[in-house]
Amino acid sequence: MEVQTQTKPKSSIKKTIRITGAEALIKCLLAEGIDLIYGYPGGAIMPIYDKLYKYQDQLNHVLTRHEQGATHAAQGFARVTGKTGVVFATSGPGATNLVTGIADALIDSTPLVCITGQVASHLLGTDAFQETDIISISTPVTKWNYQVTKSSEIPKVIAKAFYIANSGRPGPVLIDITKDAQFGELDFVYEKCKAIRSYTPVPEMDINKVKAAAELINNAKKPFIVMGQGVILGQAEKELKALIKKTGIPIASTALGLSGLETDHPLFVGMVGMHGHYAPNIKTNECDVLIAIGMRFDDRVTGDLKRYAKQARIIHFEIDPAEVDKNVKTDVAVLGDVKVTLKALLPFVNETSHIQWHQEFKDLYELEYEVVIKDQLNPKKSGLTMGEVIEAINKYTKGEAVIVSDVGQHQMFACRYAKFTRTRSKITSGGLGTMGFALPAAIGAKMGVPDREVIAIIGDGGYQMTIQELGTIFQTKIPVKIVVLNNSFLGMVRQWQEMFFDRRYASTKMVNPDFVKIAEGYDIKAKRVDKREDLQAAIQEMVQSKEAYFLEVVIEKEDNVFPMIPTGASVSEVRLE
């Protein structure tokens, strides 16, 4: 009698191949759809780079001039695309040079997977050449990190890394791979990670909380929405527009939330925060219901927490439970994916307009325009202002460009005056406030959206922190545009010294090099403008250029950014001058 034996269908059999850990890593990246890496080679990661050479037709590796530049470039790429940025670095100083960018990515919720090489596992803990305990160093600034010491671990660890980095609230992950794990062989098979035990990236929505939020909104006389970057990260721009269209609620943005809603939307009232617009800051302490959507109540937004929106009922739409009630006590917290929770909210809210409440915002904007904005856009002073430079950029980009700003006065001017018509168009270092961010981040952003104009707006101080990345532009020919607003000062610190330290300008005056000559040394077309009559033509030439372009604009040395909420003050104490 013939015995029938069952065999698994061929489609269910996982095929394996025998390869090294280094090659396995490359194949993991390809399986995750990665085609772009930023990095800098060295001894401990050399086996990975050796295998990368074999796959260079499938993986584009961009050699930055510093590992910090690699992280910021990957951030810029991730922020404009929503994809996970990938970084390579070697052990020791290569790994430690990543830390600033990783910390920046964590606080600004940017998905990165950073791969570092490490000394061989038998040398761990011996203070071997270029050995640094990057796992301990990076633990506070990563969403997850892990050290691989066996080649067989690589596929599962990398799959887990990508899942964690870009699920729920995104963030950076660091994987440290010892050199022997890179050389060792394994039977390679790759499966994408779809779930991890005990890790819940998106909390389950409670429909009763949604209904409670709707009841507060429907009964509000003066409701006010503050949107953060969570709307962009959650791809909830459409749902947000539907909500404000139906409810007529005025809406403001945090700095990182900018471009999630077009700046000329009739319900958009500006930016909140230390250098935000006058009306939304004042009205925060006058609204009766404050609806926070995908934002974390940062201290630069709230000012003195003891005097922040105490008159209002607080509704918080948030994906990260750790952010709820951390700074501001909420009345209703709606946890979950904001795209899902806003869609669920829409049927329960009433159709309203709040015309008189809107007029109050408009009246305060007119006051701000007369005291602050008019003099920035149409200055009486002979020197150029940052505001008029941003306005000129608006004129020639029509709000379609990606604006990448560094940190300082120019950053706040860019946030206040740049116009946006498309989402994922305002890229800056928010929570960490990293000077040197913009130049490499703009390189990454341009590579992420090559069909869009990408303009880096940088101060003369921050520019020199990562100026070496001009070499990356020189080698790759990335047609990014760079505008340095040069006031020969560390402008933001100088403003504080002027206002609060009796003009004692301690260590803030900058003696700068010839920026135009430096750019030309990297074969980048460059121009310097110091007269108002030359500004428009220079901006137009820059925007129309098909190649990389550097424009230095000499501006007023003591031009301050207003409004301003002094440290420790209430949002109601925002100053116009």
Nearest to 411 by CA among 423, 426, 399: 426
CA distance 484 to 124: 44
How far apart, in Å, are the Cα atoms of 413 and each of 168, 381, 408, 491?
Answer: 31, 17, 9, 12
Same domain? 464 vs 346: no
Among the listed residues 433, 567, 557, the one whose alpha carbon sits nearest the alpha carbon of residue 500: 567
Q: Are 412 and 491 in contact (CB under 8 A)?
A: no
- The SS3 assignment for 377 reads helix
Hey, is 241 helix, strand or coil? Answer: helix
> Residues 287-311: what's their mean pLDDT?
96
Task: Tell me whether residue 422 is in a domain.
Answer: yes
For residue 116, the Cα-to-chain-centroid distance in whole angstroms is 22
Q: In this model, does residue 10 exceed pLDDT 50?
A: no
570 lies in some domain: no
Spatial CB neighbours of 4, under 8 Å, sequence gap ≥ 6: none
- Residue 132 pLDDT class (50, 70, 90 cuts): very high
Same domain, 234 and 295: yes
Residue with tokens 């990057």: 134
User: Residue 161 domain-assigned?
Assistant: yes
The answer to whether the CB of 575 falls within 8 A of the CB of 566 is yes
Q: Is 68 helix (H, G, I), strand (E, B) or coil?
A: helix
Q: Are residues 390 and 349 in the same domain?
A: no
* Same-domain status, 166 and 217: no
Q: What is the 3-state secondary structure (H, E, C) of 125-148?
A: CCCCCCCCCHHHHHHHHCCEEEEE
Q: Check if the beta carbon of residue 443 is closer than 8 Å to that of residue 478.
A: yes
Same domain for 457 and 309 = no
Q: Is 428 in the same domain as 491?
A: yes
Query: Rg of the chain over CA atoms, in angstroms?
Result: 25
What one-character DSSP code corresponds to residue 369? Answer: I
Residue span of the structural domain in which 222 resides: 207-360
**Which one of 360, 393, 421 terminates a domain?**
360
Q: Is the pLDDT of residue 527 over 90?
A: yes
Q: How far is CA 380 from CA 370, 388, 529, in A?
A: 13, 12, 18
Whether 4 shows a pLDDT value over 70: the answer reads no
Total count of domains within the chain:
3
CA 129 to CA 120: how far, in whole Å?
Answer: 11
Judge whether 270 and 365 are in contact, CB under 8 Å.
Answer: yes
CA 160/CA 203 separation, integer angstroms: 19
Query: End of a domain among 360, 390, 406?
Result: 360
The one-character DSSP state at 385 is -
Question: Please, which pLDDT band fits residue 557 given cuts at 50, 70 and 90?
Answer: confident
Tens of pLDDT, residues 359-395: 999 999 999 999 999 999 988 888 999 999 999 999 9
In a domain, 567, yes or no: no
Task: Determine how many CB atoms are found less than 10 A away from the CB of residue 44.
Answer: 28
CA distance 167 to 6: 39
Residue length, the chain? 577
Strands (E), 90-134: 112-118
173 and 287 share one domain: no
- Whether 37 and 121 share a structural domain: yes
- Which pTM was predicted? 0.95
Q: Residue 349's domain is classified under what CATH number?
A: 3.40.50.1220
Instruction: Establish if 365 belongs to a structural domain.
Output: no
The last residue of a domain, from among 308, 326, 360: 360
Record the tokens describing residue 353, joined without a space.
């307009």
- Dihedral, CA of residue 274, residue 292, residue 326 and residue 307, to nearest 10: 50
Rounded CA-CA distance 526/459 in Å is 16
Q: Is residue 570 classed as helix, strand or coil in its secondary structure?
A: strand
> E strand or H helix at 270, and its extent?
strand 268-271
CB 545 within 8 A of CB 531: no
Residue 13 pLDDT: 53
Residue in this structure with the two tokens 């779930």, named with its chain if needed: 195
> Whole-angstrom Cα distance, residue 262 to residue 285?
25
Q: Which amino acid, one-letter code, is at 309?
A: A
- Token pair 């904007």 is at which residue? 365
Per the structure block, which two tokens stand in for 165?
């980095």
Residue 443 within any structural domain of the chain: yes
297 three-class SS: coil
480 belongs to a structural domain: yes
Taking residues 420-433, what's their average pLDDT? 97
Is 40 a residue whose pLDDT tops 60? yes
**Quick check: 7 pLDDT over 80?**
no
* pLDDT value for 62: 98
Q: Are residues 388 and 313 in the same domain?
A: no
Percentage with pLDDT > 90 across the chain:
93
Tokens 């660890």 — which residue?
Answer: 157
Q: Which residues are catalytic?
A: 67, 129-130, 179, 492
Average pLDDT over residues 315-319: 98
Domain shared by 96 and 166, yes or no: yes
d(CA 390, CA 568): 29
pLDDT of residue 496: 87
Q: Do 353 and 422 share a structural domain?
A: no
What lies within 8 Å, CB to CB, of 510 at 6+ separation is 460, 461, 488, 489, 490
**At residue 206, does pLDDT exceed 90?**
yes
Task: Please answer whether residues 178 and 150 qualify as being in contact, where contact means their C-beta atoms are separated by less than 8 angstroms.
Answer: no
Same domain, 330 and 281: yes
Please, what is the average pLDDT of the chain? Answer: 95
Residue 564 lies in a domain: no
pLDDT for 226-251, tens place per residue?
999 999 999 999 999 999 999 999 99
What are residue 333's DSSP bridge partners? 316
Q: Which of 396, 421, 417 is nearest to 255 (CA)?
A: 417
Residue recorded with tokens 């325009």: 369
Task: Please give the pLDDT value at position 2.
Answer: 40
Spatial contact of 542 and 481, defined as CB atoms under 8 Å apart: yes
